[in-house]
Chain A
Amino acid sequence: MPRILKRLPPWLALLLPAIVILLVVVLIPLLLSLYSSFTPYRLTRPETLYKWIGTYNYVKVATDVNFWWAFGRTVFLLTVALNLEMLLGLGLALLVNKVTWGQRGLRTIMMFPMMFSPILVGFQFKFIFNDNVGLVNNALQSLGVTDQAIAWLVDEKLAMFSIIFAEVWMSTSVFAILILAGLFAIPRDPLEAAKVDGCTPWQSFRHISLPFLMPFIYIAMAIRSLDVARAYDIVQIMTNGGPARRTELLWTLIGRTGYVDAKMGLANAMGYISIFLAIFFTIYFFKKLNASRAVLGFNH
């Protein structure tokens, strides 16, 4: 084996472990699921795996209104959550960056939500938004804002809001930490020159700091859009897609179809259509990242 390794070009020898493990753990299972999406495979009846039904599952998914609603809701959640996290993360990073004393402590506190397991965040907010004993309702009632219990997770509009709140709470620090890293890296000279030239703080932020921060923002966007699946844990725990499917996202729908309804073939067809969404976001943010780096002349 080592002799074969030595004959390979060094880059391939170095990349080989990564390629092997990704082939085995990601690609082979994906090919298997691609095959099973053309069968009526049910977990409870293994023999169904050998029956070929062509594109039947895909046609069924494509014409399923519930699927497209879940698809739309996922895009909605992604867009709203990513943009909110970006704005709040930028604000948080600017606030922390201005602190001169005790900044290291603040930075550790700032990363606190990152350390929570998404499933834990789900339970935490399920409890906090509980209509009877939850923290939010208790606080509102103690302050006399409302005398009725607000059913945060049962009301169809509030449920989505609660989920977005949990998602944003958990992930804003990912943006904050990357943007803060960007703020530290901004060269001082252009900022001072701008000050001498009489730029207002807003102008120098808009035209000097912000373009410099854009690559960091896109890296965070790319990472977060890659981790969209994390929303699955939160949603599954908080509402399990309810009430009446109002918070049903792609991944909760797929999980339910595959494991609860045991229609594995159908679930895999859904999965395949959904993966294209993730790939689209990956490539989109990658291009944006490269473009914003090109502006700064960092593309080598």
Chain B
Amino acid sequence: MDINQQHRLRKQGLRAAHLIALFIAMSIICLPGLWIVLNSFRPTVEIMAKPPVWIPERLSFDHYRAMFGGVGEGGVPVLRYFMNSLIISLTSTLIAILIGIAGGYAFARYRFRGKSAIFVGFMVTRAVPGVALSLPLFIVFAKVGIIDTHFALILAYVAMNVPFSIWLIDGFFRQVPKELAEAAEIDGCTRWQAFWKVEFPVAKAGIASAAIFAFLTSWNEYALASQLTRSVYSKTMPVGLLDFTSEFTINWGGMCALAVLMIIPALILTFIVQKHLISGLTFGGIKG
């Protein structure tokens, strides 16, 4: 066998190995989620079947019908939860990003005493886990009387997402050369116009990626939500998932249907912002 042939064989072998490894990795990533989606379309008998039924006999929409059936018949008020989640996540993301832009800009553009101390101080507040915070936060919120409101959760999630947003957005603003904004100001822009026309567009990708992280965090958060919500007026979907459990049994089919409903908005949003997420993090990562 001559060297050329050997070389070609090796190259083909590596290509095949790469594809096989990629296929296995993607399967492991997708299978658990796919299993949930499949289960949401099966009758409960098939979910619990033994030996297992791998391919559903027929599509069943029973779980979805039951889920949207309403409160009266013992169903879970899914639409309420969905709306609560949407309102709380979107509002808190918006506020956190606005505060994050202001804070990130301050860290990136101004020199002041105690800058790194404040920066680390912010990070440390993020280090406090939700479950540790939920105990005292419950007491404070109960005293103020805002338990079981959207406002309480929005407040908590803004605080949770602000440090992380500032950290990311600070990196992106640093990547905009100072001279660019200065040139705009010389050309007669106000500082605000210079920010809006020059610096903001360049940092937009980073802001978008901070937004997706913030949204996913609020959308999926459970520890705080389970303490600060009481009723259908403020319960979010992660908390609502527990409505499908009773002391000894779990309604797997219903839970899977709700899970599918929970993933769809996250999937859509991530897909839209996905392009920015990569190019954005590239810059935010390096120049901190």
Report A's interface with B, CB cutoff 8 A: 9-12, 14-15, 17-19, 21-22, 24-30, 32-33, 36, 91-92, 95-96, 98-99, 104, 106-120, 123-125, 127-128, 132-133, 135, 138, 141-142, 169, 173, 177-178, 180-182, 184-185, 215-216, 219, 223, 226, 228-229, 232-233, 251, 254-255, 258-259, 264, 267-268, 271, 274-275, 278-279, 281-283, 286, 289, 293, 296, 298, 300
Asked whether A298 lies within 8 Å of B287 as measured between CB atoms, the reply is: yes
User: B200 near A: Cβ within 8 Å?
Assistant: no
Contact of B238 among A95, A120, A173 (CB under 8 A): A120
Asked whether A26 lies within 8 Å of B241 as measured between CB atoms, the reply is: no
A-B pairs under 8 A by CB, number: 251
A22→B100 CA distance, assembly (Å): 12
The minimal Cβ–Cβ distance linking A96 to chain B, given in whole angstroms, is 7
Question: What 3 pairs between A and B have smallest CB-CB spacing?
Answer: A229-B129, A25-B159, A117-B220
The minimal Cβ–Cβ distance linking A173 to chain B, given in whole angstroms, is 7
Residue of B nearest to A184 (CB): B282
On chain B, the residues within 8 Å of A25 by CB distance are 137, 155-156, 158-159
Report B's interface with A, CB cutoff 8 A: 18, 21-22, 25-26, 28-33, 35-36, 47-52, 98-100, 102-103, 105-107, 109-110, 112, 118, 120, 122-133, 135-137, 139-140, 155-156, 158-159, 162-164, 166, 216, 219-223, 237-238, 241-242, 250, 252, 255, 259, 262-263, 266-267, 270-271, 274-275, 277-279, 281-283, 285-288
Asked whether B36 lies within 8 Å of A124 as measured between CB atoms, the reply is: yes
On chain A, the residues within 8 Å of B125 by CB distance are 22, 26-27
On chain A, the residues within 8 Å of B120 by CB distance are 282-283, 286
Asked whether B278 lies within 8 Å of A181 as measured between CB atoms, the reply is: yes
A184→B118 CA distance, assembly (Å): 32
The minimal Cβ–Cβ distance linking A277 to chain B, given in whole angstroms, is 9
Q: A226-B123, A268-B136 are in contact. Are A95 and B110 (CB under 8 A)?
A: no
On chain A, the residues within 8 Å of B220 by CB distance are 115-120
On chain A, the residues within 8 Å of B262 by CB distance are 117, 120
Extra A-B contacts (16), CB below 8 Å, given A25-B156, A106-B22: A15-B103, A18-B102, A22-B122, A25-B137, A28-B140, A91-B21, A91-B25, A112-B29, A135-B52, A141-B51, A216-B285, A229-B132, A251-B131, A254-B132, A286-B120, A296-B286
| A interface secondary structure, majority | helix
Asked whether A298 lies within 8 Å of B132 as measured between CB atoms, the reply is: no
On chain B, the residues within 8 Å of A128 by CB distance are 32, 35
Asked whether A32 lies within 8 Å of B277 as measured between CB atoms, the reply is: no
Asked whether B238 lies within 8 Å of A115 as measured between CB atoms, the reply is: no
On chain A, the residues within 8 Å of B158 by CB distance are 21, 25
A109→B270 CA distance, assembly (Å): 10
Q: A226-B123, A278-B129 are in contact. Are A36 and B29 (CB under 8 A)?
A: no
On chain B, the residues within 8 Å of A181 by CB distance are 278, 281-282, 285
Most A CB contacts (10 A, CB to CB) among B110, B219, B220, B285 go to B285
